[in-house]
Structure 1
Amino acid sequence: MAPAWLSVPRAPSTTCFRPQPLACRRVVPAAVLRRGTVAPAGAAPPRRRLVVAAAAAAVASGGKKRTFVEEMRAVAMRLHSRDQSRHGEKEVPLEPPVATWAPTVEGFVRFLADNKLVFLTLEAIVARAAVPWYAEFRDTGLERSEALEKDLEWFEQQGYTIPEPSDVAIAYASFLEELSEKEPQAFINHFYNLYFGHSAGGVLIGKKIVEMTNLQKEPEFYRWEGNNLSQLQQNVRDKLNQLASAWSQEEKDRCLDEMEKSFICSVDLRRHMFN
């Protein structure tokens, strides 16, 4: 049975997977709010406050300006609780501590099948490069679809039924396709959150799930070839920083604005593990 917290509908997940048409979305540049003006009706105050707070902290101690990836991480940490990260700042977490979860192997297989679709979609978007600079993020070594394919093949060999991707995963993949074509800066936030979130906190979550379900094999989803994950991450950070250096402040703000939605989408993929 799913934990009680998972059965309670949450409005944020609805806005994540059933977004309003992109052309209708009102975006208020964070730079406007930095000048002290009042956000107009229809703006998203909580999300905007995250960006304004990150901008205010853009100059680190010692006067050294943060890189854009460091700004992204600062916004992300404002969505984590202390239970999730020692740098977390959110008082009320979007999901409870992993220790309170009650995962099953079947639920974990559903989670892997959903993630396979999402990561395949990410890789296809980058490979297609409808926006030319997406090509910079091909073959980073962080790609996960092949690892997920191996995991699902292994579970099938153990007698588990591999499900089709859920409606949640299908909706998210479709959303990423649309976003990547119409709002590339916002798409890059999802790219960052999916890869870096998985290779950081996601690994800890994965280890805990393996322990809780008594799996006899560490999933490939949480392993990177050559054990050089930190270098792979740094290579992508460098590319992201170089890319953002050519963006206007409004484009940077649009990327940062997407962090809350990106974070909630990832949470909803994990929640479906228990449904």
Structure 2
Amino acid sequence: MSMASLAPISQCHTLLRKPSSKLNLSSSFIPRDLPFSKTQSFELPRMASKSYIVSASTKEMSRKRYPGEAKGFVEEMRFVAMKLHTKEQAKEGEKEVKQPEERSVRQWEPTVDGYLKFLVDSKLVYETLESIVDKAAFPIYAEFKNNGLERFEKLANDLKWFEEQGYGIPGPSSPGVTYAEYLKQVSENDPQAFICHFYNTYFAHSAGGRMIGKKVAEKLLNNKELEFYKWDGDLSQLLQHVRDKLNKVSESWTREEKNHCLNETEKSFKHSGEILRLILS
């Protein structure tokens, strides 16, 4: 829940004026924007070529890496997300407790009515996410079709069970409606932002969400495990499959696009926190 510039192109042109030896350099030393193929030879003086390579290596090594960058972009997203937790929620958390849902789940006092509101709004959010992926306004969304983490149908079954027990099922409330509309908006013109919400919604539910579900079930449902917290297949494998897809999709992004995605994390937490707070209402 990565990226260095080589020596200026003008330097290369200077070196090309007085060729003295012919080298077939590895493509890793050739700037991508120069008009040479991976196997094409060109002339460089011996001493100049050594200086050029050392300069490139020094700049590559001196560039500061982003936290988690070496492991892939998903790790960058995870790092940013964990920092937005409180210490009571996660050991890596840095946020101060300001809202009731930010306390440890052990301190929660959930209500059935509030939990039903949470499930209804969650169902709307997952329905929206899965519809966006299915329609795929951007080709990268199609990578996540039928990924095994989908929750809409599971939630629909759970709400049907509550109805059979005699509970009235409310309509979606403001937090869920607002978040669903926001997801639709960003998905149409901001794929990096949408991917941030996609990642945080599904991966948060598979981790902290399961813990919340267990504690609420203990207090309200006589330990009944809802479908919302069950997956068809091995969850760790499903998560890894989606993690690999996310890393693959982000490989073509610029550093600026990746940072834009990371910066959307706070909005994701804001919206999901408002929905989570319904459990305690």
* Contact preservation (8 Å) 1:81, 1:93: no
Alpha-carbon distance in structure 1 between the residues aligned to 2:64 and 2:76: 10
* Contact preservation (8 Å) 2:148, 2:238: yes
* Contact preservation (8 Å) 2:214, 2:223: no
Query: Are 1:193 and 2:193 counterparts?
Result: no
Query: Are 1:87 and 2:92 counterparts?
Result: yes
Q: Which residue of structure 1 lines up, in the alignment, with residue 5 of structure 2?
A: none
Aligned length: 217
Letter in 2 for 1:149: A
Report the structure number with the largest CA radius of gyration. 2
User: Alignment partner of 1:65: what SS?
Assistant: helix
1:164-210 CA-to-partner distances (Å, cap 9, x unmatched) read 11122111101100010121101110000000000001100111111
Superposed CA RMSD in Å reads 1.8
CA distance 1:217–1:268, shift in 2 (3 Å): same
Query: Are 1:78 and 2:86 counterparts?
Result: no
Q: Which residue of structure 1 lines up, in the alignment, with residue 236 of structure 2?
A: 230
Q: Which residue of structure 2 lines up, in the alignment, with residue 146 of structure 1?
A: 153
* Contact preservation (8 Å) 1:59, 1:66: no
Q: Which residue of structure 2 lines up, in the alignment, with residue 111 of structure 1?
A: 118
Alpha-carbon distance in structure 1 between the residues aligned to 2:67 and 2:159: 45
Query: Are 1:271 and 2:277 counterparts?
Result: yes
Alpha-carbon distance in structure 2 between the residues aligned to 1:168 and 1:271: 9
Q: Which residue of structure 1 lines up, in the alignment, with residue 168 of structure 2?
A: 161
Identify which of 165, 189, 192 aligns with 1:182. Answer: 189
User: Alignment partner of 2:71: what SS?
Assistant: coil
Q: Which residue of structure 1 lines up, in the alignment, with residue 228 of structure 2?
A: 221
Query: Are 1:134 and 2:148 counterparts?
Result: no
Q: Which residue of structure 1 lines up, in the alignment, with residue 250 of structure 2?
A: 244
Alpha-carbon distance in structure 2 between the residues aligned to 1:59 and 1:182: 27
1:103-150 CA-to-partner distances (Å, cap 9, x unmatched) read 112211111111110000000000000111100000000000011011
After superposing the two structures, state which structure 1 stretch, 103-112 or 91-100, moved more: 91-100
Q: Which residue of structure 2 lines up, in the alignment, with residue 36 of structure 1?
A: none
Alpha-carbon distance in structure 1 between the residues aligned to 2:250 and 2:107: 39
Q: Which has the higher contact order (CA 8 A, sep 6+)?
A: 1
1:196-255 CA-to-partner distances (Å, cap 9, x unmatched) read 0000011001111111214352111011113x0000000000000011110011110110
CA distance 1:217–1:111, shift in 2 (3 Å): same
Uncovered stretches (5+) of structure 2, i.e. residues with no partner: 1-62
User: Alignment partner of 2:148: what SS?
Assistant: coil
* TM-score, with length taken from structure 1: 0.75
Task: List aligned pairs for 1:23-34, cutoff 5 A.
Answer: none
Uncovered stretches (5+) of structure 1, i.e. residues with no partner: 1-54
* TM-score, with length taken from structure 2: 0.73
> What is the aligned-residue identity percentage?
54
* Contact preservation (8 Å) 1:58, 1:66: no
Alpha-carbon distance in structure 2 between the residues aligned to 1:92 and 1:103: 18
1:66-120 CA-to-partner distances (Å, cap 9, x unmatched) read 3100000010111112211233233446522212221112211111111110000
Letter in 2 for 1:159: G
